[in-house]
Amino acid sequence: MAIKTNPASDATRSASGATAPLKVVLLLACAVLLVHLALLSQNTAPLGLLQPPSREVFSTRLIVPTPPTARATPPPAPTRAAPRAPAVTQAPATLKQETASATDTPTATPTSTVADTAPMEPALVQNKPQEAPQQAASAPAPVPAVAVAAPAPDLSPQANSWVPAYNVPASVRLKYLVQANKFPFNVNAELVWQTEAQSYDARLTISAFGLARTQTSRGQITAQGLAPLRFSDKYRSEVAAHFNRDTGKATFSANTPDVLLTPGAQDRLSILLQLGAMAAGSPAQFTEGTTLAMQTVGPRDADTWLLTVQGEEALVLPGGAQTGLKLLRKPRKEFDQRVEVWLGTGMAYLPIRLKITETNGDYLDLKWLSSEKIP
């Protein structure tokens, strides 16, 4: 037997069953709202935002400064201010201002104790730096005097207290044979010496296979012998030194520093002829062991040559036998040349032999071959 169900009655049943829990939820929600309204009605201020801050909140902020006061009390804090010595003069004023402000605020009491003791240390530290610069400034004071006095012995004539007479030779052309350790053959050289009124012109040329090196000296003839005005040295390019007598300086085309000229200054070519003029004028003064000091200017710089008389020697030269008065310039610095010159006693004390030796042993040896007068 089949049982029939009514669909409409089932729908009403399910709807009434669903509405029952909904009513319960709504009732609970209304109850909760009534409870909240009751609680809110008891407080007159909104969440305490208009209430003044409590002392407990402010006291928690006072805990923050306490660690810095502990850091300020140790002595390392004043020592760090010691390197600021230049600002010490203003330090006491600022420190006093800090102490005055510290008395107004009770939290700054620890720093005020440090400020009271700090000014003593910067003052003591500053006294020491002030003494050090004064000593450093006073120490270099004697240096300029020493620097000025030191070059004087080098530039002034040594063992040359006598006043020499000068006998300048007449115009002449001298020819030489040149021997060198680098060349297995002889090289030619020529010295042309010309005088006219109160001026002179000297030129020394060494040539081989179309190549030549020439040194030239031009200047005046004075009561003190030769006074060069220009010296040049030319191999492929020319470098020169100029004697500015008005300013008392020698200048160089190579843009090297100027040099102060001393009385009797010569160049590297004129010195050979100046020695001959001195020996011809005062032969008795050129005794063995006598040392002459002359400022000698090259194409780039100047130096003091010390030449010592070695005495007379008999020479056998390509041009014949001659007697030569030998003078020697010994090297004083690392790269100085050794210069030996023989002045012909029978040839107006012109250079009849010249030997130049480098520090590495290389040498050039010029030996007189012939001479010819120039009208």
Percent of the chain exceeding pLDDT 70 equals 60
Predicted local confidence at residue 38, as pLDDT: 57
Cα angle: 83, vertex 86, 89; to 5 degrees:
115
Between the alpha carbon of residue 114 and those of residues 110, 125, 289, the distances in Å are: 7, 17, 80
pLDDT category at 375 given cuts 50, 70, 90 is confident
pLDDT in tens, 341-363: 999 999 999 999 999 999 999 99
Is the CB of residue 363 less than 8 Å from the CB of residue 311? no
Higher pLDDT, 66 or 368: 368
pLDDT score at 189:
97
Per-residue confidence band for 335, with pLDDT thresholds at 50, 70 and 90:
confident
**Minimum mean pLDDT range among 117-126, 227-236, 273-282, 296-305:** 117-126
- Provide mean pLDDT across the span 86-95: 40
Any idea how long the chain is?
375
**Burial status of residue 81 (CB atoms within 10 A of its CB: 0-12, 13-18, 19 or more):** middle
Q: Give tens-digit pLDDT for 55-70.
A: 444 343 444 444 444 4
The DSSP secondary structure of 54-96, one letter per residue, reads PHHHHHHHHTTTHHHHHHHSSTHHHHHTTT-GGGTTTHHHHHH
Mean pLDDT for the stretch of residues 310-318: 98
Look at residue 333 in the predicted model and tell me its pLDDT. 87
Asked if residue 273 has pLDDT above 60, the reply is yes
Predicted local confidence at residue 161, as pLDDT: 60
pLDDT band (50, 70, 90) for residue 208: confident
Residues 250 and 120: their CA atoms lie apart, in Å, by 60
Distance in angstroms (rounded) separating the CA atoms of residues 270 and 249: 17
Query: Are 280 and 221 contacting, i.e. CB atoms less than 8 angstroms apart?
Result: no
**DSSP assignment of 230-282, as one string?**
EEEEESSSEEEEEEETTTTEEEETT-PPPEE--TT-EETTHHHHHHHHHHHH-
Confidence label for 153 from pLDDT (cuts 50, 70 and 90): very low
Question: Do the beta carbons of residue 356 and residue 339 sit within 8 Å?
Answer: yes
Find the mean pLDDT for residues 33-45: 55
Whether 136 has a pLDDT exceeding 60, the answer reads no
State which amino acid sits at residue 35.
V
Q: What are phi and psi of 255, to 5 degrees?
A: 65, 25
Is the model's pLDDT at 267 over the cut of 90? Answer: yes
Mean pLDDT across the stretch 266-274? 98
The two three-digit tokens of residue 21, written as one number: 């829990």
Residue 110's pLDDT is 39
**Residue 360 pLDDT:** 92
Mean pLDDT, range 185-206, rounded to an integer: 95
Share of the chain above pLDDT 90, in %: 51
> Which range has the worst mean pLDDT, 18-22, 166-170, 230-234, 238-242?
18-22
Stretch 9-38: mean pLDDT:
63
Identify whether the C-beta of residue 122 lies closer than 8 Å to the C-beta of residue 85.
yes
Please state, in angstroms and rounded to a whole number, the distance separating the CA atoms of residues 98 and 109: 10
Please report how many Cα atoms fall inside a 13 Å half-sphere around the Cα of residue 142, on the Cβ side. 3
